[in-house]
Structure 1
Amino acid sequence: MANYDHDKVVPDKSSLLGKKQQVAKMFDTIAFRYDFLNRFLSAGIDVSWRKKALKELKSIQPQRLLDVATGTGDVAILALEMLQPQKITGIDISEGMLELGRKKIDKLGANDRIELISGDSEGIPFNDATFDAVTVAFGVRNFENLEKGLKEMLRVLKPGGKLVVLEFSKPKQAAFKGIYNLYMNVVAPGFGSMIAKNKEAYEYLKESMLKFPEGQQFVQILDHSGYINTTCKPLTMGICSIYTGTKR
């Protein structure tokens, strides 16, 4: 199974822990400010990105949906509103993020429709062909082994089921690159340090984005992992992309 540069990017290079354990620890630390920072640092655009990603599933009307790297449950909650599936399961390796997500779901009175559980993308705790659709928003970049995670998600999809991945990418337009680089190098780490008291988390975000195999390279990895009808749709001048793939 292939390894990619971003697989080796970790939040703390001096730590003896593996990437998975470091990422879980990092998100536990910043969980209390995660939702706020997402809205603030993206000027609220991240909500529209998630909505566009979920629209990719409207045509198949999934009844059982798995949200991998669910975090505080934003995609799971939006999916309930937009797609009305019978059951949504969210998995994440950060218990701190899951705890906040469960509180949001409880407040909505949606506990009978959305369940958030501790789970690893590279060892999903469900049988083969369980789900009609799988979503991952800003999570594949944190996988310790990208290809292994993609193949696991394919395994739990039903034949004809669809994967939708939302992930950061790098803008191609020269005029926008300077603004983007300033934002990623100065603004995001600065606000991350000031508000979440964790500059390292946003430094990690930047480095993992720079090394992530985006665009057509990621589409080729989806193809290699066994998905068919794969696509890539850049959003907002290319700073984010929606990837899709289907199980045979």
Structure 2
Amino acid sequence: MSNVQKIVPFEGSKLSKKEQIASMFDDIAHRYDFLNHFMSLGIDVIWRKKALSYLKSLQPKKMLDIATGTGDFAVMAEKRLQPDSIMGIDISEGMLAIGREKIKKRGLEHKITLQQGDSETISFPDAAFDAITVAFGVRNFENLEKGLSEMRRVLRPGGKLVILEFSNPTVFPIKQLYNSYFRYIVPLFGKWIAKSQAAYSYLPESVKAFPQGEAMRTILTNTGFQAVTCKTLTFGICSIYCATR
């Protein structure tokens, strides 16, 4: 078991990591989008656009957005890449309910479908999608390798996987500022705005434990992906991993 799999939102809970993650996101769903943009000062929108730019040349027709949450990334992908369809899956029904409202408001029900689903047992046939995206979700997997293997299975040969995930900056003084912000300020915002300090205390711990850079590239390669690349953004606060089946 890797370190990231041991990090859970609620220490002492008898629930599995997967069940804890679902419960945590159900609890904070109503404030999730606001907190995301607020705590990243809106930079997360730039990161998402950059991640999607890696799929531009592929022109995917069928896309899968894993850990879709409230569907933010799926909505952006529809606008920027114009695929025929996007399927979004997530284990939190609370997040999906908000996402469905968002999609309905934008009149995108014919293009984007959100359904409850587990990234480690994806309920779609082999080679069903041209592209798969995951934004800030892989570090929450109970079994990272199993989730990545499932993604590879449902991706068509030549299809692309794009993962956007937080990482730990290594440059002074960004590293020190980032660590202080994540460790002390973020949990306070979580407690104040989302009424959940546990969720936002879990965030820095899960980022810290997650395999990054070369370690994550190795895991993707060992899972069978090819042409694996890693691009860091904003002084290393965020990373984009790209891989081809």
* TM-score strictly above 0.5: yes
Structure-2 residue corresponding to 1:68: 66
Q: Provide the C-alpha distance between the structure 2 equivalents of 1:111 and 1:225, rounded to a whole number of angstroms.
A: 33
Instruction: Kindly tell me the number of residue pairs found equivalent between the two proteins.
Output: 245
Structure-2 residue corresponding to 1:122: 120
Determine helix, strand or coil for the equivalent of 1:144.
Answer: coil
Cα RMSD after superposing both structures: 0.5
TM-score (norm 2): 0.99
How far does residue 57 in structure 1 lie from its aligned partner after superposition? 0.3
How far does residue 177 in structure 1 lie from its aligned partner after superposition? 1.3
Q: Provide the C-alpha distance between the structure 1 equivalents of 2:190 and 2:98, rounded to a whole number of angstroms.
A: 19
Structure-2 residue corresponding to 1:171: 169
Of 48, 51, 61, which residue of structure 2 is paired with 1:50? 48
Q: Provide the C-alpha distance between the structure 2 equivalents of 1:130 and 1:178, rounded to a whole number of angstroms.
A: 43
How far does residue 178 in structure 1 lie from its aligned partner after superposition? 1.5
Q: Provide the C-alpha distance between the structure 2 equivalents of 1:99 and 1:229, rounded to a whole number of angstroms.
A: 36
Determine helix, strand or coil for the equivalent of 2:49.
Answer: helix
Q: Provide the C-alpha distance between the structure 2 equivalents of 1:240 and 1:181, rounded to a whole number of angstroms.
A: 13
Deviations 1:143-172 (A, max 9, x none): 000000000000000000000000000111
Q: Provide the C-alpha distance between the structure 1 equivalents of 2:173 and 2:7, rounded to a whole number of angstroms.
A: 28
Of 174, 177, 198, which residue of structure 2 is paired with 1:200? 198
Matches for 1:1-248 after TM superposition, within 5 Å: 3-247=1-245
Determine helix, strand or coil for the equivalent of 2:173.
Answer: helix
Determine helix, strand or coil for the equivalent of 1:123.
Answer: coil
Q: Provide the C-alpha distance between the structure 1 equivalents of 2:10 and 2:185, rounded to a whole number of angstroms.
A: 20
How far does residue 108 in structure 1 lie from its aligned partner after superposition? 0.3
Q: Provide the C-alpha distance between the structure 2 equivalents of 1:210 and 1:129, rounded to a whole number of angstroms.
A: 33
Deviations 1:24-70 (A, max 9, x none): 00000000000000010000000110010000000100000000000
Kindly report structure 1 stretches of 4+ aligned residues shifted beyond 4 Å: none
Q: Provide the C-alpha distance between the structure 2 equivalents of 1:12 and 1:119, rounded to a whole number of angstroms.
A: 22
How far does residue 232 in structure 1 lie from its aligned partner after superposition? 0.1
- 2:174 maps to amino acid: F
- 2:46 maps to amino acid: S
Q: Provide the C-alpha distance between the structure 2 equivalents of 1:26 and 1:82, rounded to a whole number of angstroms.
A: 30
Determine helix, strand or coil for the equivalent of 2:113.
Answer: strand
Q: Provide the C-alpha distance between the structure 2 equivalents of 1:157 and 1:177, rounded to a whole number of angstroms.
A: 36
Q: Provide the C-alpha distance between the structure 2 equivalents of 1:191 and 1:92, rounded to a whole number of angstroms.
A: 24
Q: Provide the C-alpha distance between the structure 1 equivalents of 2:109 and 2:167, rounded to a whole number of angstroms.
A: 34
Determine helix, strand or coil for the equivalent of 2:78.
Answer: helix
Q: Provide the C-alpha distance between the structure 2 equivalents of 1:181 and 1:130, rounded to a whole number of angstroms.
A: 40
Q: Provide the C-alpha distance between the structure 1 equivalents of 2:138 and 2:176, rounded to a whole number of angstroms.
A: 26
Task: Extract unaligned runs of 5+ from structure 1.
Answer: none
Q: Provide the C-alpha distance between the structure 2 equivalents of 1:67 and 1:129, rounded to a whole number of angstroms.
A: 15
How far does residue 174 in structure 1 lie from its aligned partner after superposition? 1.4
Task: Extract unaligned runs of 5+ from structure 2.
Answer: none
Determine helix, strand or coil for the equivalent of 1:58.
Answer: coil
Determine helix, strand or coil for the equivalent of 2:165.
Answer: strand
